[in-house]
Amino acid sequence: MEEIQALRGTRDILPDEVDYWQAIEAVVRQILARAVYKEIRPPIIEQTSLFERGIGEATDVVAKEMYTFTTRGDRSITLRPEGTAGVVRAFISNKLYAQGGVQRLWYQGSMFRYERPQAGRQRQFHQIGLELLGSDAPRADVEVIALATDILQTLGLKSLKLELNSVGTAEDRQNYREALVNYLTPYQNDLDKDSQERLTRNPLRILDSKDPKTKEIARNAPKIIDSLGKESRTHFDRVLQLLRDLEIKYVINHCLVRGLDYYTHTAFEMVSDELGAQATVCGGGRYDGLVAELGGPDTQAVGWAIGMERLVLLLQKLQAAPSEAPEFYLVSRGDRAEAQGLVLAQKLRGAGLKVELDLSGSAFGKQFKRADRSNAFACLVLGEAEAEKGTVNLKWLSSGEQQTLSQSELLATIEELKLKISQLKT
């Protein structure tokens, strides 16, 4: 019978790699909780019109990359290609704006885009993102950038580069669009095929083309910063000053426009030179018109998303997998000992200790070898003699120190055991 394979563009995330994912998620939860961001979990499928209106029908995401289906009720639905539109829809549908003030939300989960699979980007990919809704202050832009910086640096990534630009207001972009098209039109035949199509449909996207010849042409294009109105320029200058106040280094990238139509004012990316063409680890910006565009009240907002696959690739280059070793490895042999071992393991787990129970029933010698390979701090041994007496042998694997305790004594010394393990970890 033919073996069934995973679909192209999807992949299994195996236990050794999941260790990285869980380490990232733990850091994100800790840092965002301190900044009073609350998790939100919108559905994976939404009405197609949400993304057509929210992202923009002229974008590559909507025009070429969405997984869209027609239901039995003849309704068009789409697997979400990004997270912001769904969060904003939930913000509107559930009237979170009625609570007043600023809403600080974050999310995590799968996204879907039909594009060529490559390292760090699959057709099913994963993001962690946050959205700050209800503030037009430059401080809000810098808060979310600072949080992304904290997360990535806490994970050990010190060499990422923060690139910023301002895409201004809709009026600023319209003025810039005219100047950009006037500049690019004489080079139309020299642009790559996608950029030739974008010249009339979405010319700003030409600025972030990966085609070498197009990039060379774009390098001398007019800068959007020169088309900004006074309000937009004041906002951007304040963002830059606040970043300097926080000693967050940045570079201005005049070709940075991001790929979605909803962005206004600040746009930013955090990039690594260790990921090849897929260099962006975190990207985001301000989107002041999106809530109103989707039927909600006029609400300013800013946010970002981190690509999990790319982040894991970076962490794998930097360090070994986070340790998921057990604190105790429990070996037992004989019916009565194995039954007591199961009970003892559950009680220790219930007290907050990480315990791996050997279920093999094989000779003690083989179980001891597995205990050594597990990298546990200590081994608990239960044979028929121990089961008869209600005792357990405790052996600290690093020092070889051993002692025999009654099982009730072991359970009574939980806090001492935790303290010793904590000392061994450091």
pLDDT band at 193 (very low <50, low <70, confident <90, very high): confident
Kindly state the average pLDDT of the residues 2-18: 91
Strands (E), 190-295: 251-252, 264-271, 280-286
Name the domain boundary from 283, 318, 353: 318
- The pTM (predicted TM-score) of the whole model is 0.84
**Structural domain contains residue 6:** no
Query: Is residue 321 over pLDDT 80?
Result: no
- pLDDT at residue 323, as a whole number: 59
- The string of pLDDT tens digits covering residues 244-260 is 999 999 999 998 887 66
Output phi, psi for 262, to 5 deg: -80, -5
Is there a single domain that holds both residue 271 and residue 165?
yes
**Structural domain contains residue 281:** yes
Q: Are strands 67-70 and 76-79 parallel, antiparallel or unpaired?
A: antiparallel
Q: How far is CA 402 from the centre of its chain?
A: 44
- pLDDT at residue 372, as a whole number: 93
- pLDDT at residue 80, as a whole number: 97
Q: Which H or E element spans position 413?
A: none
Is there a single domain that holds both residue 369 and residue 305?
no
> Distance (Å, rounded) from C-alpha 368 to C-alpha 380?
10
Round the average pLDDT of the chain to a whole number and report it.
91
- pLDDT at residue 276, as a whole number: 61
Tokens of 91: 């913000």
Is there a single domain that holds both residue 416 and residue 267?
no
Q: Is the backbone of residue 255 left (phi > 0), alpha (psi -120 to 50) or beta?
A: alpha
pLDDT band at 173 (very low <50, low <70, confident <90, very high): confident
**Structural domain contains residue 19:** yes
- State how far the alpha carbon of 179 is from the alpha carbons of 37, 208, 266, in Å: 40, 17, 20
Query: Is residue 331 over pLDDT 90?
Result: yes
Q: How many Å is the Cα radius of gyration of the chain?
A: 27
Query: Is residue 197 over pLDDT 90?
Result: no
Q: Which of 303, 239, 318, 241 has the alpha carbon at shortest distance from 272?
A: 318
Name the domain boundary from 318, 338, 369: 318
pLDDT band at 149 (very low <50, low <70, confident <90, very high): very high
- Residue 58, number of CB atoms within 10 A of its CB: 13
- pLDDT at residue 376, as a whole number: 94
- State how far the alpha carbon of 215 is from the alpha carbons of 154, 192, 205, 256, 277, in Å: 34, 10, 11, 12, 13
pLDDT band at 325 (very low <50, low <70, confident <90, very high): confident
Is there a single domain that holds both residue 306 and residue 364?
no
- pLDDT at residue 426, as a whole number: 75
pLDDT band at 320 (very low <50, low <70, confident <90, very high): low
- pLDDT at residue 13, as a whole number: 93
Query: Is residue 188 over pLDDT 90?
Result: no
> Distance (Å, rounded) from C-alpha 94 to C-alpha 89?
8
pLDDT band at 70 (very low <50, low <70, confident <90, very high): very high
Contact assessment for residue 264 and residue 167, using Cβ atoms and an 8 Å cutoff: yes
Contact assessment for residue 85 and residue 76, using Cβ atoms and an 8 Å cutoff: no
Residue 163 is part of which domain span? 15-169+229-318
- The string of pLDDT tens digits covering residues 19-65 is 899 999 999 999 999 999 999 999 999 999 999 998 887 777 888 89
> Distance (Å, rounded) from C-alpha 9 to C-alpha 92?
32
**Structural domain contains residue 33:** yes
Strand order in the sheet with 378-382: 355-357, 328-332, 378-382, 391-396, 402-406
**Structural domain contains residue 157:** yes
Is there a single domain that holds both residue 71 and residue 164?
yes
pLDDT-wise least confident of 87-91, 221-225, 234-238, 261-265: 261-265
Contact assessment for residue 331 and residue 387, using Cβ atoms and an 8 Å cutoff: no
pLDDT band at 278 (very low <50, low <70, confident <90, very high): low
Is there a single domain that holds both residue 46 and residue 161?
yes
**Structural domain contains residue 188:** no
Q: Which H or E element spans position 172?
A: helix 170-184
Tokens of 189: 């035949």
Kindly state the average pLDDT of the residues 131-142: 97
Name the domain boundary from 292, 318, 344: 318
- pLDDT at residue 245, as a whole number: 97
CATH of the domain at 262: 3.30.930.10
Is there a single domain that holds both residue 341 and residue 307?
no
Q: Which of 77, 147, 140 has the alpha carbon at shortest distance from 112?
A: 77
Overall domain count for the chain: 2
Query: Is residue 382 over pLDDT 90?
Result: yes
CATH of the domain at 419: 3.40.50.800
Is there a single domain that holds both residue 239 and residue 372?
no
Kindly state the average pLDDT of the residues 325-337: 95
Query: Is residue 415 over pLDDT 70?
Result: yes
- The string of pLDDT tens digits covering residues 92-121 is 999 999 998 999 999 999 999 998 888 778
- The string of pLDDT tens digits covering residues 260-269 is 667 899 999 9
Query: Is residue 72 over pLDDT 70?
Result: yes
Is there a single domain that holds both residue 164 and residue 312?
yes
- pLDDT at residue 118, as a whole number: 81
Is there a single domain that holds both residue 286 and residue 158?
yes
Q: Which residue has the tokens 């052996």?
A: 395
Query: Is residue 277 over pLDDT 90?
Result: no
Contact assessment for residue 347 and residue 368, using Cβ atoms and an 8 Å cutoff: no
Q: Which residue has the tokens 């315990």?
A: 355
> Distance (Å, rounded) from C-alpha 31 to C-alpha 281?
18
Q: Which of 312, 330, 329 has the alpha carbon at shortest distance from 321?
A: 312
pLDDT-wise least confident of 19-23, 188-192, 357-361: 188-192
Query: Is residue 322 over pLDDT 60?
Result: yes
Q: Is the backbone of residue 314 left (phi > 0), alpha (psi -120 to 50) or beta?
A: alpha
Higher per-residue confidence, 376 vs 219: 376
Is there a single domain that holds both residue 353 and residue 300?
no
**Summary count for the chain: helices (H), strands (E):** 16, 16
Is there a single domain that holds both residue 274 and residue 127?
yes
**Structural domain contains residue 200:** no
250: amino acid identity, one letter: Y
Helix, strand, coil abundance in the chain, percent, nearest 5: 45, 20, 35
**Structural domain contains residue 206:** no
- pLDDT at residue 162, as a whole number: 96
